[in-house]
Structure formats: C-alpha cells, structure tokens
Amino acid sequence: MAYSNWGAFVHRNGERRKDKEDVGVFDTDESTIPSGWRIVANLVKNRDRGNDEWYNHSHHAVLGDGPVRLCGYKSSPELWIWKDGIALRINLETYRIGNGGEEWEGIYNGEIEGHKFQARQFNGNMLNLWLRELDGSQWQSMCGYCYGFGQVD
C-alpha cells in the first residue's frame, strides 16, 4: 500500500495483489509483513546480505509474475527483465511516445519479449502502469504521492 507519503495499489485481472506492493522487483520476501514495515524489513535484509542492488529495494508497485516486471517507485516508471540469472533495467526513454506538453508528464508505451506495457506520468507526482503478460494476464496500478497512504486495507 504505502510507505512514507508514497504508495500504490496493484491489481492483476481486477484483483488486488498486496504481495506486489512495497516489495523488491524480483523478491517478495516481505509481502507478508504489514505494508508500513516492509521497507524497514527490506532495508535491514539488504544490508545484512550486503546486497544493495537497486532491484532488491522495495518498489511501490511491481507488476508481473514472470521475467518482465513493470514497476513504480514514487512517480517514476521502471521496466525490468530477468535474463540468464541477471536483473536488467531497460531504458524507458526508448519507448517514450509523447508528453502532455508539461514538464512532468510522459507516456511510455511498448512491447518487450511479448509483454505489452504502458506507463503514464501525470500531475507531477502520479503514475499509471499497465502490463499484459504472455498468458494474457492484465496488471494495473496507480502510484504516487499521498496515494495509498493511510487507506484501510
């Protein structure tokens, strides 16, 4: 749901997936911990393991169960792929198709490894995410500032 003043809600085929909120990109170890404490548990775990790779850190929204993950951290989209045992972050600028004429608005639309995705930044601090996986599963999320925080589950 949220940590600090930033948060998200993630849905797969219309059903909420709390286990994909405030977790690492390819790691949901903390998904059973109440949302507000997930970030702390994640930071402690990464410090103890000595692994500070960015994809191991909690992201507000993680869309996808397969090798391709579309994520939201604060109001920024990130596209990741797990290939040959390595997490690779894909440059979304390659997929930028336009903006709304505002400095903080951008639309990223594309396909990678058969997965279709769209990320739309708006209002300076909000982000809509959409991902369709190979099996047809549809993921959606909204995340951003003062979103999700304090909501009742």
Average pLDDT, the chain: 83
pLDDT tier for residue 136 given thresholds of 50, 70 and 90: very high
* Domain residue ranges of the chain, discontinuous segments joined by +: 2-145
Q: Which among 40-44, 91-95, 106-110, 144-148 has the top mean pLDDT? A: 106-110
Q: What is the mean pLDDT of residues 22-32?
A: 80
Residue 22's nearest CA partner among 45, 47, 40 is: 40
Residue 82's contacts (CB-CB under 8 Å, 6 or more residues apart) are 26, 67, 69, 88
Separation between Cα atoms, residue 80 and residue 60, nearest integer Å: 14
- 74-115: pLDDT as tens digits: 888 999 999 999 999 998 888 877 665 555 578 899 999 999
Q: What is the mean pLDDT of residues 2-6?
A: 63
Backbone φ and ψ for 24, nearest 5 degrees, come out as -65, 160
Better-scored residue on pLDDT, 101 or 146:
146
Widest Cα–Cα separation across the chain: 45
Q: Which ranges constitute the DSSP H helices of the chain? A: 35-49
The encoded tokens of residue 130 equal 């959409």
Q: Which pLDDT value is given to residue 152?
A: 41
Q: Which pLDDT value is given to residue 150?
A: 41
Separation between Cα atoms, residue 39 and residue 36, nearest integer Å: 7
pLDDT surpassing 80 at residue 35: no
pLDDT surpassing 70 at residue 153: no
pLDDT tier for residue 31 given thresholds of 50, 70 and 90: confident
Of all residues in the chain, what percent carry a pLDDT higher than 90?
Answer: 44
